[in-house]
């Protein structure tokens, strides 16, 4: 995902300078502990957006400290934003650190796979406990967006826990099967198939 | 000190070759104010454990000690009194009496124990208020939602002021939201009212409300996870998790 689109979205509402943009972004994601965007990332992204003519520097404010560039979105920027809204967001569920840990545990024989699963289960339950405690402290009348983000985390954790149960139940079966090996692929240009 | 403790708790059904070990030398300790979830696949011994803890069934071996008292040493009438006064039960299907209203259902354990009706009703009103049903005292079970019926059952379980609450799949018949509310209420039963709560559930989300999860498999405890009393750390976990999900 791109901080780039988030910045365009924020600028679509009104022109702002980099510091304001970063603060607005953090407010939406629920604080820097959730999604930490460094000031440098905001400024380099703004520079790139300006080079691509998706934003322009509308004004330069200078009171006492360093100068503040106020950015505004251009028509091309709005078009790029529109394009972002019209496509779906891909999820990367198959790139999973725990899965690779479990596979390497099976391949290397360096750890007991059940133990590895148990440790992960404890970890996920602690996270789930904490997510729900956090969610229950929020006020649905004023903090619903934040509650929905926590609910999302909760549902993912729940799914991960169910997956662990299934995987544990089928561990013996997996262990009986040959582990995935790279497939031998011929090098060079593929041969023409004869029809 | 633990409020309830089991020592090598074992239950074997049947004899000889057909004998089935439902529970195999389980040692469990739960303190006052602690909320423990018991999880595991069907047939792992969860319900057997709950029945033995509640004195509803006799162990083949080992013992259950509640507030320093071994259940095996009690005579039948003493055990019945222990169940009425020290243990509150909550079931999946609420087990309310259809012809009685919320107040009468809640007062029932006290009435059966010989309390004066006025005293029993005062206590029942008080507990129904605490579980958020102060406005529904006169409603019969069929006039209440599932979640509300389970609240009545929780008030009924607490009305005799027992130290221990045993809950068997308390959210099994409830939707997502009502399940959450009931789990949060059980959390409150432990946190605010200092009861020991032992809950059997198969729902990870509901189990996650507990302070500790005990996993049973083939009658034995195979895993234990402490969730509570690490709240500062938990916050870091959550935040890390949200970050990973973004």
Q: What is the pLDDT of residues B34-71, one digit of tens each?
A: 999 999 888 899 999 999 999 999 999 999 999 889 99
pLDDT in tens, A49-84: 999 999 999 988 877 777 889 999 999 999 999 999
What is the value of pTM for the model shown?
A: 0.82
What count of CB pairs under 8 Å joins A to B? Answer: 81
pLDDT in tens, B115-128: 999 999 999 999 99
Q: Give the architecture-level CATH label for domain B2-245.
A: 3-Layer(aba) Sandwich (3.40)
Q: Helix, strand, coil % (nearest 5) of chain B?
A: 40, 25, 35
CATH of A3-85, picked from 1.10.10.10, 3.80.10.10, 3.40.50.10860, 1.10.3720.10, is: 1.10.10.10
Contact between A35 and B241 using a beta-carbon 8 Å cutoff: no
For residues B194 and B33, give the distance between their C-alpha atoms in angstroms, rounded to a whole number: 4
Contact between B205 and A156 using a beta-carbon 8 Å cutoff: no
pLDDT in tens, B142-176: 999 999 999 999 999 999 999 999 999 999 999 99
Q: Which member of A118, A125, A149 has the closest CB to residue B242?
A: A149
**Under 8 Å between Cβ of A26 and A32:** yes
Q: Which residues of chain B lie closer than 8 angstroms to A115, CB-CB? A: none
Closest Cα in chain A, distance from residue B228 (Å): 8
Q: Which member of B228, B233, B242 has the closest CB to residue A153?
A: B242
Question: In the structure encoding, which two tokens stand for residue B6, read together?
Answer: 């089991």
Residue of B nearest to A121 (CA): B225
Using CB atoms within 10 A of its CB, is residue B99 exposed (0-12), middle (13-18) or buried (19+)?
A: exposed
Strand, helix or coil for residue B140: coil
Closest Cα in chain A, distance from residue B218 (Å): 13
**Residue B191: count of CB within 10 angstroms of its CB:** 15
pLDDT in tens, A77-98: 999 999 999 999 988 888 999 9
Does the model's ipTM exceed the 0.85 cut? no
Give every residue of chain A whose pLDDT is below 50, as ranges: none
């Amino acid at each position: 995902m791109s901080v780039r689109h988030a910045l365009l979205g924020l600028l679509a509402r009104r022109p702002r300078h980099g510091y304001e943009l970063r603060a607005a972004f953090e407010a939406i994601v629920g604080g820097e502990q959730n999604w930490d965007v460094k000031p440098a990332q905001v400024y380099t992204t703004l520079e790139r957006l300006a080079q691509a003519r998706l934003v322009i520097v509308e004004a330069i404010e200078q009171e006492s400290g360093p100068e503040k560039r106020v950015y505004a979105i251009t028509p091309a920027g709005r078009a790029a934003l529109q394009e972002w809204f019209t496509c779906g967001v891909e999820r990367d569920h198959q790139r999973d650190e725990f899965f690779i840990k479990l596979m390497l545990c099976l391949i290397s024989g360096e750890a007991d796979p059940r133990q590895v699963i148990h440790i992960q289960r404890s970890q996920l339950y602690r996270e789930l406990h904490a997510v729900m405690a956090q969610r229950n402290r929020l006020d649905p009348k004023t903090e619903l967006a934040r509650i929905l983000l926590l609910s999302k985390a909760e549902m993912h954790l729940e799914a991960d826990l169910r997956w662990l149960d299934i995987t544990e139940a089928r561990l013996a079966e997996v262990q009986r099967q040959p582990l995935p090996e790279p497939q031998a692929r011929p090098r060079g240009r593929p041969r023409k198939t004869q029809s | 000190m633990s409020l309830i403790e089991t020592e090598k708790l074992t239950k074997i059904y049947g004899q000889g070759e057909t004998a089935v070990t439902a529970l195999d030398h389980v040692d469990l300790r739960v303190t006052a104010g602690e909320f423990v979830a018991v999880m595991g696949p069907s047939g792992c011994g969860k319900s057997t454990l709950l029945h033995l803890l509640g004195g509803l069934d006799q162990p083949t071996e080992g013992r259950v000690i509640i507030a320093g008292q071994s259940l095996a040493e009690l005579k039948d009438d003493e055990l019945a009194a222990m169940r009425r006064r020290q243990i509150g039960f909550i079931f999946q299907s609420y087990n309310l009496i259809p012809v009685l209203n919320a107040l009468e259902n809640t007062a029932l354990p006290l009435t059966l124990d010989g309390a004066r009706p006025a005293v029993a009703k005062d206590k029942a009103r008080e507990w129904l208020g605490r579980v958020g049903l102060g406005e529904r005292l006169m409603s019969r079970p069929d006039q209440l939602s599932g979640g509300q019926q389970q609240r009545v059952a929780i008030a009924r379980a607490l009305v005799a002021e027992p130290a221990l609450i045993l809950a068997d799949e308390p959210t099994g018949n409830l939707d997502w939201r009502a399940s959450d509310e009931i789990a949060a209420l059980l959390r409150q039963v432990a946190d605010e009212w200092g009861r020991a709560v032992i809950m059997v559930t198969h729902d990870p989300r509901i189990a996650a409300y507990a302070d500790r999860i005990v996993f049973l498999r083939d009658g034995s405890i195979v895993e234990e996870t402490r969730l509570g009393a690490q709240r500062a750390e938990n916050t870091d976990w959550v935040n890390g998790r949200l970050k990973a999900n973004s």
